[in-house]
Amino acid sequence: EKVRPYIIHRTSIGCYERTLAYLIEKYAGAFPFWLAPTQIKVLSVTDAVNNYAKNISDKLLDLGFRCELDNRNEKIGYKIRESASQKVPYNIIIGENEMNNGTISLRIRGGFSANDVNLDKFIEEVNKLNNNRDINLKTEF
């Protein structure tokens, strides 16, 4: 005589883990700005601009952004490649021109860049992205 089989379903991960796995797969690690683990990375070109870069990083951290400062004694190309592989949405590059002008240069995920950007304008725009939960990055400043 035929007997109806029973299937026992068990998972070792919970709802949060499944949701996170879904998001990682959906975005391929390139999360929207508001969801990215590191939203902004500040990269210094030389040791002479480390204080200016630290001031920018501290200001962004105080405003609640998830920001990292990379002031290692490495070539800037290496720092940019490393940050691109981590899929950080915005990289702020600080050199002597930026320090002297009181501006920032941006490398935006997706191959976009912007030079001589006012820091306050940048903060205002990314704050909108953060608050509105926009999926696309702003590429023009």
pLDDT of residue 43: 97
pLDDT band at 73 (very low <50, low <70, confident <90, very high): very high
For residue 132, count other CB atoms closer than 10 A to its CB. Answer: 10
Q: What are phi and psi of 101, to 5 degrees?
A: -90, -10
pLDDT higher than 80, residue 89: yes
- Residue owning tokens 């190309």: 77
pLDDT of residue 107: 95
As a whole number of angstroms, the distance between CA 86 and CA 30 comes to 8
Q: Which is higher by pLDDT, 15 or 28?
A: 28
Q: What is the mean pLDDT of residues 100-114?
A: 93
Q: What is the mean pLDDT of residues 2-12?
A: 81
pLDDT of residue 64: 95
pLDDT above 70: percentage of residues in the chain: 97
Q: What is the mean pLDDT of residues 81-85?
A: 95
Provide the mean pLDDT of the chain. 92
Strands across the sheet containing 90-94: 67-70, 40-44, 90-94, 104-108, 112-117
pLDDT of residue 74: 93
pLDDT of residue 113: 92
- One-letter amino acid identity for 43? L
The gap between the terminal CA atoms of the chain, to the nearest Å, is: 74
Token output for 83: 């940050």
| Contact predicate 81/111, CB 8 Å | no
The closest alpha carbon to 47, from 96, 103, 83, belongs to: 96
Q: What are phi and psi of 25, to 5 degrees?
A: -70, -40
